[in-house]
Amino acid sequence: MQRNGSGGVVALQGGGPFESNDELDRQLLSGSGIERVVMLPTADAFEQPALLVAAAETWGERIGVTVESLMVISRSDADDPLAAGVVDAVQAVFLAGDSASHLRSVLKDTPLFQALSDLVARGGTVIACGPCAAALCDPMTDQRGGGFALGLGLVQGLAVIPGSEHWPREQIDRAHTHANTPLVDLPTGSAIVRRGAEWEVIGNATIHGALPVSTV
């Protein structure tokens, strides 16, 4: 089912990809008539992306969608027009993995990131879990110290702290003190979902400031 007119869906989840958000994932995907989702394991390039792919395939069987993994690991992969073409052909993309900074460095100003932006603009769905949720925002929270860095900007004027229950208290306090945009604490199992211009808060997410109005 394509959503026309007011932009698509961006879901930012706190953590637990393919295990902690099944009810929301089912609602966003199979419950909305989406049968196929492309999964990007880019942020796990230095971990074990094959394990993430296997978890995604099991999750897809569980919630009723077909998962196609797009193995974009390096910037040259993201610059490949064929990768952008894969995203152009679907209505949903899921991003998971543990390195927000690697995801940003791979996707920033590439045809693949443009394809993600176009997907949302035409009414599709992008789900980002854990550090990937931070990377899609601008500013992006820095997992290493609680500061902020340039993010991808699919969502602008907002920062999130994914998996906030695992952050040291001093890092969370530092982020709260230095934030110059709205900031959301996103523990595992929580999410914020933008549908067109409207936001929905799910679970124990804590909002500091007013969520920005979408321009999509």
Instruction: Quick: pLDDT tens for 97-156.
Output: 999 999 999 999 999 999 999 999 999 999 999 999 999 999 999 877 778 999 999 999
pLDDT at 3: 37
Q: What is the pLDDT of residue 142?
A: 85
Helix runs in the chain, H state only: 22-28, 49-63, 75-79, 81-88, 100-107, 111-121, 131-136, 169-178
Instruction: List the CATH code of the domain at 9-208.
Output: 3.40.50.880
Tokens read off for 106: 């791979």
Helix H or strand E segment including 62: helix 49-63
Cα 19 → chain centroid: 15
Residue that wins the pLDDT comparison between 47 and 33: 33
Worst-scoring range by mean pLDDT, 58-72, 173-187, 202-216?
A: 202-216
- Summarised one tens digit per residue, pLDDT across range 169-178 is 999 999 999 9
> Which of these, 63, 64, 1, 65, lies nearest to 32 by C-alpha position?
1
Q: Give the pLDDT of residue 146.
A: 76
- Name the residue among 196, 173, 192 with its Cα closest to residue 184: 192
Contact 209, 183 (CB under 8 A): yes
